[in-house]
Amino acid sequence: MRPLRWKQVLALWVVMIALRQDFWFWSDATLVFGFMPVGLVYQAGYSILAAVVMWGLVHWQWPAELERLEGAAPSDPCPPSDRELPL
């Protein structure tokens, strides 16, 4: 799958912001499964959607140059002696 262009990512961002504003459930007292307000169910679904979208953006948009640079860097840039706090 080819990476998204910046305009597509921007459009996806705008859609996600618009979906976040769930004003249509503010006054709805409907309960899902008999105990959970519909607005809470919507927010849970939105959170899952946001996690999937972010995973997809990282998976497909992550620059390959960073991975090549990571291979050239030392595995531990901070030796153990530098991490110890002075007493």
Per-residue pLDDT of the chain (87 residues; tens, 9 = 90+): 666 677 888 888 899 999 888 888 888 888 999 999 998 999 999 999 999 988 888 887 777 777 676 665 555 555 555 555 565
**What pLDDT score does 59 carry?**
80
Q: What amino acid occupies position 56? A: G
- Using alpha carbons only, what angle is made at residue 24 by residues 46 and 52, rounded to the nearest 5 degrees? 10
Backbone angles phi, psi at 9, to 5 degrees: -65, -40
Backbone angles phi, psi at 35, to 5 degrees: -145, -15
- The CA distance from 73 to 75, in Å, is 6
Per-residue DSSP letter, 34: T
The whole-model pTM stands at: 0.65
